[in-house]
Structure 1
């Protein structure tokens, strides 16, 4: 063997050995943090024994004799599987990421500190019920018991070993009640209302006249898409479900948009058009089981691990001291169950989306601002941000009567003379959502559930309900502001006082509600709650446009026309992939004169039923045409931040444009030629074919990569490979029922997903089904890190067991916790 070849062979051998050694070290380090699922562990703070049964998916069911022991054990179990995630989240919500990651996260910290999430949480805790504080304290004790048992970085999670390479001094501190409560602010932020739409309107207005801006924000199509509540009205200051209705600043805004874009999202993506959810419930009169069936699938960001953690929390014997027997989806870092069922009722959430945040244009001079023709002093506070590897950074936060100034532009002439923007948002007022979680978990009937809903002030969610007695219901909760003037659709002058909020929000008794409707089912999918013609108070003008909700309604009506609905049918509906806009657009595409290879591509749309399955070539081509159509028609007219992302608002915008072939939006302002509808449709079809070719399927284009929120975007390929999973094909689309969203400005990759799916059978709770996007574990390479993802991708689910016998029979691990 020649010497260069021998030398190369030896080098390669050394490299292979080093790679194997490194892989072995990484594997050993990763496995160091895998939690104990078997045996007996002693935990300080417990008053009695607690049993934790885990099934093969790593889902724990916890059994205790007191509520305090139950939530202490939940804190311990959450920390076992997800402490890095919990630690990362609390640093986000308190604006302290830079303590972990250094200057790279300083802008995010500044944005969070400006809004003051942690400050609000600290103000909220003393106002909570005594029992809530007690349960939060028990949960914190459980987390801290785990921390004490795992003081070495490698024993906590592999992420800490990676962090040690750049921040060797970092040590996680003890868990506090405020860490849990602050997470509710992140939840409220990610499920906030129309603030981005409000900014988009203002940005669009910098380039377009008012009448053209209005085209981009059409009203809700009540004539085609039914609202959630189709009956009832306000009567004597209360909403009566049976009543009949009575007849009768440019640069400053840009700066605010930039600051608010820095706020990290823990449940959603920057592309918030895809954030929504589906839920529906069918009464027992129309089901094969004779009892109600409830379905829910919240649409959130595609992240690793999933935002949800499945668990069961059970008192061995329900009593006044221990009133919980609940199974469902939890948030690590927060005690209780967010969505699920107890032994009597089931409930689900979708985003209600009321307008709960306003941007006020302000006139600021020095340390004062103008309000109601008077000069007032700005409220100020100084925040000190610790930065790993650097000096602390001081941030001065200034606020008006409306709220913190977000993105001041001092000394610059702006819209209406404003030079700053303040954010008023209901979540910056201390509230009672933590109380609501425990009250929902305990509720045993509709009356008790509504009482719990009244406590759920932020974020405002559509709540659907079913119980073992056969009742189904819907309730709008939340703190919804009442404005003196205006509709919240655009930034308003703050100095006049005429757009201020009234001191008290809309009373809970005036919010829409519904029980046992004649139709036999209730559907919510971020569509309009109620037609304004029958309801006076303003909830919002910026609903999702009802494509998903109407499709669900039509599918339910079809199934009811054949007979009764089974739990299996409910699960199948969650996986419906049809594009509801295809039937509107395709006839216009076929009318256009076309030549060349794109003709063949268009032909496959003629017999396409709109189904967006993985193997569908028509789905790939149609979505490519849609992407290019939107970019050709609108990108030249709008600022980058306000360009279309492809949600159902754009369905409505294009629907109207298709009937106006000479509309100015069809013209490409970057050319000397005046384009019309046919020109843009033709070009979109040609560009789509050239981009994806003749053989691409939807599964080839529409892929999902599960990305770890912290280290999964490090830019270091080996690190990202440890924590991320994928890509793999995903069916459905942005406003299909199976809502795997994507952004036309970025490509076809999935940005938002059904983060979990659940179907609850109130006739037999053990017959319920569920699935998580990834898995319960937050530890890379643990068997439960992403074991549910392949099932999720195929639209499959797992048994959602709840009864003690079934739970014990399915258990593959049993851990006993003792005092």
Structure 2
């Protein structure tokens, strides 16, 4: 027995020692890729020495003697901190993720190959102006200089992930940066998903009920649309639910998750200091690390500082000494879907207004790890590329004998958006900034500008001209061979929304409707916000003048105007009704929930129970209202639509018909459905978070999920690389934290402002900014998540162009010297 015990002890100690050794070796291999920020390195491609001064938050301040050298150093810094992220973004747009990740990313690769964005980016390189091409080449040379160091063997393959997914990293090319910019544009729009959803809903709903569930933004009415089945006949009956997973590696997201943002500016008449103010917070899918990376560049035109995306040599949102710029998703309708009839006698041809024409076609091979390669036949019509029918639920709306194609501005192979961004960074006035925007193609954005004396808003990006006789006005897929459905060029830049020197001294956008013109000059029918804009308007008008701090307060505001508007009408017949109920009964829990909500001001604070009760109630309410009408399609409506619920409970155009459950014999009222939905919500809350309503915390449900797109799914590694935080806000607050909407965690915060900035031109160096994680993409770096807690608490770091401030608390200074 003693011998057995001794051997068990030896085996246990050996196992522990082996585990420790494995941990130490793993840590050593992974840590080798941590960059040394205090370094002096000779690199090929520089004309003169460059300094990269990394301040206390690891924000690189780049001081080069020429623009080319500064862009070289930005590429070098991006690659030092985010090499893995950059390579994954490039692989995504190239359609080459499956070489690393297998079948998980096959759909993404197939879509990207069919869209052919990388080929369009390569073709667009020669369309950039000389300065932009030089910047792209210098940036690529900087990335490649870091790759050369990695390949020399001293940098641990450049990132920990490279040990697990060991594939050669090709040299960076100028086209790579343009391609990633196109990918960002693709991920910002959800007009494709919106067209498909409207088509699917129109197949099961009458037109008046379709207007309820997919309501128009308030304003002058729209002439009635035809049913989709009348536009595109012979659609097979496929109405099963199509659930699209939310995968941070996927090239596309489901409907309801487009790019979003807030931005506003105050002119001197509305500023306490007499100078301009600007605030901006773009919203995207949360990941670890963030898509955003803070940087400062010294250019011949002066210093610029703000938010970049690794792989793109632009300050996308930021400021110079003279001009600040913010961006919001404009939601301009820059996309149309077409059903193209295939010649039944020759599958290589499709129907056009002038007869049959041949598809442009070529083959493309998608390599898939641990699985056979897939050979795709890429086809294109005059309208655009043929899309895979199994994605976006296209097979549910595709008529027999047809394929679905896509027209989108971002498919342009003469895309000068990169040049527009370069010119914006060098602009010193609002006029120059607006002129720079003329060259933007995709994405469509609202550009909010502030120089020292004026503010402005201008929509930029290519917006198609549609025929006045277009059969669906761009809101539904249409037949591609009908001439009236095809685009007729582009809307004039001067016709896009523009506001300069507003009479009230304030401009802003929360993805709300920006212009009210009839089709075809409408810009869009599908907008990103109808709720946040009301809260913003109230906060801006609540005081005569604003300061940097009042702009920060608005940026962090968590009061839901939607909750304030909906609760009184949804619960109108439930408050102060019914007999007192005994403690512990469902009736008593309902009464207590109503008491809490009746005294609540709509603040979606992470420490309060009311936001969770409200959110669960609205989710259950919409589910009950639409389930019997939409069946499996219900799962496509992941977020409660405030305008729909408002229409139903106000009985606008007979919308209260949604309250009656069709299969039941009884006729249910809206009060009945509201009560049943509240009971549904309270049962779910009790099963998930406990029965004590007063002890609930919204933050326990509204957890920000900043997960590593690859390692985050591994049971042990996920604990190290994922960043999880209790957060305030919600779907319709200015501090927006868009919820997942899907079981089992429908209220996880997965889409929010990964970057916030507030610029004060009375004292530019008092401007502030923050990102949601940290600057480094290396999980072992102390800068992997050091800014995340500040972001969660609503704090910021200085946004200064003063070199002495950057040097004063620098964590390192990298000196890049020209090679001998």
Q: Give TM-score scaled by structure 1 length.
A: 0.89
The answer (yes or no) to whether the contact 2:534–2:561 under 8 Å persists in 1 is no
Structure 2 CA distance for aligned equivalents of residues 185 and 253 of structure 1: 35
The answer (yes or no) to whether the contact 2:515–2:522 under 8 Å persists in 1 is no
Structure 2 CA distance for aligned equivalents of residues 509 and 404 of structure 1: 30
Structure 2 CA distance for aligned equivalents of residues 256 and 356 of structure 1: 29
Kindly provide the CA deviation profile for residues 667-706 of structure 1, in whole angstroms up to 9, marking residues without a partner as x: 3456555433122211111122122232311112111121
Q: Offset of 1:299 from its aligned partner? A: 1.0
2:778 alignment counterpart: 779
The answer (yes or no) to whether the contact 2:54–2:812 under 8 Å persists in 1 is yes
Distance 1:161 1:101, change over 3 A: same
Structure 2 CA distance for aligned equivalents of residues 383 and 261 of structure 1: 25
2:481 alignment counterpart: 495
Match of 1:721 among 703, 719, 735: 719
The answer (yes or no) to whether the contact 1:202–1:253 under 8 Å persists in 2 is no
Q: Secondary structure at the match of 1:616?
A: coil
1:373-522 correspondence to structure 2 within 5 Å: 374-389=355-370, 391-408=372-389, 419-430=402-413, 431-468=415-452, 470-484=453-467, 485-486=469-470, 487-502=473-488, 504-522=489-507
Q: Offset of 1:6 from its aligned partner? A: 7.0
CA RMSD in angstroms, aligned pairs only: 2.8
Tell me, yes or no, if structure 1 residue 187 matches structure 2 residue 184.
yes
The answer (yes or no) to whether the contact 1:157–1:779 under 8 Å persists in 2 is yes
Match of 2:550 among 555, 569, 577: 569
Q: Offset of 1:55 from its aligned partner? A: 1.2
2:269 alignment counterpart: 285
Distance 1:787 1:195, change over 3 A: same
Distance 1:33 1:680, change over 3 A: same
1:599 alignment counterpart: 591
1:814 alignment counterpart: 813
Q: Secondary structure at the match of 1:708?
A: coil
Structure 2 CA distance for aligned equivalents of residues 424 and 489 of structure 1: 13
Tell me, yes or no, if structure 1 residue 543 matches structure 2 residue 527.
yes
Q: Offset of 1:24 from its aligned partner? A: 2.1
Structure 2 CA distance for aligned equivalents of residues 705 and 110 of structure 1: 27
Distance 1:119 1:662, change over 3 A: closer
Structure 2 CA distance for aligned equivalents of residues 8 and 613 of structure 1: 53
1:31-42 correspondence to structure 2 within 5 Å: 31-42=31-42
Distance 1:662 1:284, change over 3 A: closer
Q: Offset of 1:770 from its aligned partner? A: 0.6
Structure 2 CA distance for aligned equivalents of residues 281 and 401 of structure 1: 42
The answer (yes or no) to whether the contact 1:115–1:428 under 8 Å persists in 2 is yes
Structure 1 CA distance for aligned equivalents of residues 239 and 132 of structure 2: 39
Kindly provide the CA deviation profile for residues 638-680 of structure 1, in whole angstroms up to 9, marking residues without a partner as x: 26456464657x1001101002398332234565554331222
1:112 alignment counterpart: 112
The answer (yes or no) to whether the contact 2:46–2:72 under 8 Å persists in 1 is yes
Match of 2:626 among 631, 634, 638: 634
1:51 alignment counterpart: 51
Q: Secondary structure at the match of 2:357?
A: strand
Q: Offset of 1:123 from its aligned partner? A: 1.2
Structure 1 CA distance for aligned equivalents of residues 241 and 174 of structure 2: 32
Distance 1:129 1:599, change over 3 A: same
1:159-170 correspondence to structure 2 within 5 Å: 159-164=161-166, 170=167
1:667 alignment counterpart: 660
Structure 1 CA distance for aligned equivalents of residues 525 and 678 of structure 2: 33
The answer (yes or no) to whether the contact 2:457–2:499 under 8 Å persists in 1 is yes
Distance 1:304 1:251, change over 3 A: farther
Structure 2 CA distance for aligned equivalents of residues 758 and 60 of structure 1: 17
Deviates more, 1:729-738 or 1:374-383: 374-383
Distance 1:413 1:620, change over 3 A: closer
Count matched residues.
774
Distance 1:422 1:662, change over 3 A: closer
Tell me, yes or no, if structure 1 residue 764 matches structure 2 residue 757.
no
The answer (yes or no) to whether the contact 2:332–2:524 under 8 Å persists in 1 is yes
Deviates more, 1:630-639 or 1:572-581: 630-639
2:742 alignment counterpart: 745
Match of 1:326 among 281, 291, 304: 304
Kindly provide the CA deviation profile for residues 352-389 of structure 1, in whole angstroms up to 9, marking residues without a partner as x: 01111100112113111111151111111111223345
1:93 alignment counterpart: 93
The answer (yes or no) to whether the contact 1:373–1:496 under 8 Å persists in 2 is no
1:72-471 correspondence to structure 2 within 5 Å: 72-151=72-151, 152=153, 154-164=156-166, 170-222=167-219, 249=232, 269-270=253-254, 272-273=256-257, 275-315=259-299, 322-365=300-343, 366-372=347-353, 374-389=355-370, 391-408=372-389, 419-430=402-413, 431-468=415-452, 470-471=453-454
Q: Secondary structure at the match of 1:786?
A: coil
Q: Secondary structure at the match of 1:359?
A: strand
Tell me, yes or no, if structure 1 residue 29 matches structure 2 residue 29.
yes
Q: Secondary structure at the match of 1:355?
A: coil
The answer (yes or no) to whether the contact 1:412–1:419 under 8 Å persists in 2 is no
The answer (yes or no) to whether the contact 1:268–1:275 under 8 Å persists in 2 is no
Tell me, yes or no, if structure 1 residue 793 matches structure 2 residue 792.
yes
Structure 2 CA distance for aligned equivalents of residues 640 and 522 of structure 1: 42
Q: Offset of 1:53 from its aligned partner? A: 0.7
2:612 alignment counterpart: 620
Q: Secondary structure at the match of 1:785?
A: coil
Q: Offset of 1:217 from its aligned partner? A: 1.9
Distance 1:681 1:418, change over 3 A: farther
Structure 2 CA distance for aligned equivalents of residues 794 and 717 of structure 1: 28
Structure 2 CA distance for aligned equivalents of residues 549 and 200 of structure 1: 25
Match of 1:589 among 551, 571, 591: 571
The answer (yes or no) to whether the contact 2:177–2:311 under 8 Å persists in 1 is yes
1:241 alignment counterpart: none
Structure 1 CA distance for aligned equivalents of residues 397 and 555 of structure 2: 47
Deviates more, 1:546-555 or 1:86-95: 546-555
Structure 2 CA distance for aligned equivalents of residues 744 and 412 of structure 1: 24
Distance 1:548 1:644, change over 3 A: farther
Q: Offset of 1:347 from its aligned partner? A: 0.4
Structure 2 CA distance for aligned equivalents of residues 305 and 515 of structure 1: 36
Q: Offset of 1:118 from its aligned partner? A: 0.6
